[in-house]
Amino acid sequence: MTLISQSATILLNTGLGTGFWLPVIVILFIGLLVFLYYRHLMGIRKVELQKLSDQLQECRDELIKLEELKKLLPDLKKIARLDHDVNTPLCVITMSLGRAKKLALETSDENLLTNVEDIVEAVGRIGEIMQAVRVLKASTLIAYKEK
């Protein structure tokens, strides 16, 4: 027998050997459990970190969009004011068209009546377009009225 195997046999057979190896094995087992638990926690942290990274990228993308919107706000305010600026002359045109239509009917001028009807149609289309602008006036982001 070699010297190492004889020493191991003596240590294992004596009370000193058993008293030494049992705590070492327990400590190693506890160390293994701690290592596995730590690895598990690191896996969870890695997943959480990836989720946070994804959320951060989404926030950055949204911030870019908000900055672009902020640049557009002055122009959107001008467009919101257009509603009033366009609708007032449209009302004048509509009233004048009513008088022109009455005149066309009184004089039986078919040419004038056709022109009036074409203009009434165009005014109606402009009114529909201005309806889209009214959405801007309802937005809290766009305080279109000057204070």
Q: What is the pLDDT of residues 87-129, one digit of tens each?
A: 888 888 889 988 988 988 889 889 989 999 999 999 989 888 8
82 within 8 A of 105, measured Cβ to Cβ: no
Asked, for residue 143, whether it belongs to a domain, the answer is no
Q: What distance, in Å, lies between the first and last C-alpha atoms of the chain?
A: 103
* Domain contains 144: no
Report how far residue 31's alpha carbon sits from residue 82's, in angstroms, rounded to the nearest whole number: 74
**How many domains does the chain contain in total?**
1
Using a pLDDT cut of 90, give the percent of the chain over it: 38
Residue type, position 130, single letter: M
The SS3 call for residue 39 is helix
Does 145 fall in a domain? no
Q: Is residue 47 part of a domain?
A: yes
Read off the pLDDT of residues 32-48 as tens digits, 9 standing for 90 and up: 999 999 999 999 999 99
Helix 15-107 × helix 110-138 angle, to 10°: 150
Q: Kindly state whether residue 147 falls inside one of the protein's structural domains.
A: no
The whole-model pTM stands at 0.48
Q: Which residue has the higher pLDDT, 97 or 81?
A: 97
96 part of a folded domain: yes
Domain around 69: 3-138
Look at residue 78 and tell me whether its pLDDT is greater than 90.
no
**Is the Cβ–Cβ distance between 130 and 86 less than 8 Å?**
yes
Distance CA 61, CA 65 (A): 6
